[in-house]
Amino acid sequence: MDLFEKCRGFFSDPAVAHAMGYPASPHEVQEMGLYPFFIPLDNAEGTEATIGGRRLIMIGSNNYLGLTTHPKVREAAIAAIREFGPSCTGSRFLNGTLALHEELEERLARFVGMEKALVFSTGYQTNLGTLSALVGRGDVIIGDRENHASLVDGARLAFGRLLRFRHNDMSDLERILRSVPATAGKLVVVDGVFSMSGEVAPLPELAALCHKYGARLMVDDAHGLGTMGQGHGTVAHFGLTDKVDLIMGTFSKSFASIGGFIAGEKSTIHWIKHTARPLIFSASLPAPNVAAVLAALDVMEAEPQRVDRVNAIAARMRRGYRELGFDVGKSETPIVPIFIGDQMKTMQLWKGLFDAGVYTNVALSPAVPADASLLRTSYMATHTDAQMERVLEVFARQGEKYGLI
């Protein structure tokens, strides 16, 4: 069989698309005007986006604190590109480490309450590098079934075994921990805030079980940093900094940049720094991105009210959606899912909202189970009350139009 045959069939053959879990082929969905992916934005200026000359309210961004438009963050990036240029042209291991990287690592370690931090070029690489560096043959990674794809792929890259427990189910986690040989190295890995549902991991129970069974605990706090624990993350929210072994974060959400980091005790970070292939064999994070994160940290520390504001907006929207009759699940964070359960209706609602000037994100199979398809909405500290009122009005009208409320 021609290796590329599946590629040709995927776009236009419904059977291939159905076999992969999609409700229709991309071509069919495009013909229906319902294709929700790879939409080119002319501009994404904070709380609004411009698409084809039309302005939409953006409730599909991870820009939780609204810092991509903050003058201090933008000016820091511009100044860094003038001083250092657009690239380091080498890996951290060789010629790609700047004093700026080390300054950021020191700041991040203090910010999350850990001994040491290590900056990677993307959040995805951070998880690939950390898990593959730490977990070897005979070791076990135990992860929540709703963990981010980068954690799943990091476990695949590692030479250890991956076991998965039911989402936020501590009895299932304990069952697995009990079954793992005492001689095996064990790493439990969870999202602090789950990126689709907006749910928070039960970290106190997780930490207690890890202590009981001699497992290490790593928290991917990509969506918790900037939104939980006065901005310091989910671990700080629960007061568990001394009970969690590794905290991972990304810069593409609250920090208004791109990149990621892992933080923990000094010896562990030193090991990862010298053995993580995604770090050693990738170009380092460019100076403008590093400078933007440093400036974002300054703003986060100087303006903690942004954290309160984004959570107040999210609470208002959860309440508003529930009053309309939508199912928002167990969200406690600025990520508020709208569960629809039918993939075609989910795309229809997305299109209705899009045409009415509201930008959301669609989550379909295989990203989520087919019967759990949803619209993922997320909020910024810079959203206005008038914008949120408008969003609820549009949701009410479109929800009635498609018989969803």
- Give the residue numbers annotated as catalytic, written as ranges: 195, 223, 253
CA–CA separation, 141 vs 129, rounded Å? 14
User: What is the C-alpha separation between 237 and 227, in angstroms, rounded?
Assistant: 10
If residue 55 lies in a helix (H) or strand (E), which one and from where to where? strand 54-58
Q: Enter the tokens of residue 174.
A: 């304990």
Closest CA to 65 of 222, 255, 331, 199: 255
User: Which of 121-124's residues contact partners 24+ apart within 8 Å by CB, and which partners?
Assistant: 121/258, 121/259, 121/260, 121/282, 121/283, 121/284, 121/285, 122/250, 122/252, 122/258, 122/259, 122/260, 123/150, 123/222, 123/248, 123/249, 123/250, 123/251, 123/252, 123/259, 123/260, 124/150, 124/153, 124/260
The single residue listed with the structure tokens 């070791």 is 139
Taking the C-alpha atoms of residue 221 and residue 193, their distance in angstroms, rounded to an integer, is 6
Distant-in-sequence, close-in-space partners of 129: CB < 8 Å, separation ≥ 6: 120, 154, 262, 272, 276, 277, 278, 279
228-250 burial, b at 16+ Cβ within 10 Å, e below that, comes to: bbebbbbbbbbebeebbbbbbbb
CA-CA distances (angstroms) from residue 189 to 45, 119, 173, 183, 215?
34, 19, 11, 19, 10
Contact 288, 73 (CB under 8 A): no
Of 337, 361, 348, the C-alpha closest to 402 is 348
Question: Hey, which residues does 186 pair with through a beta bridge?
Answer: 140
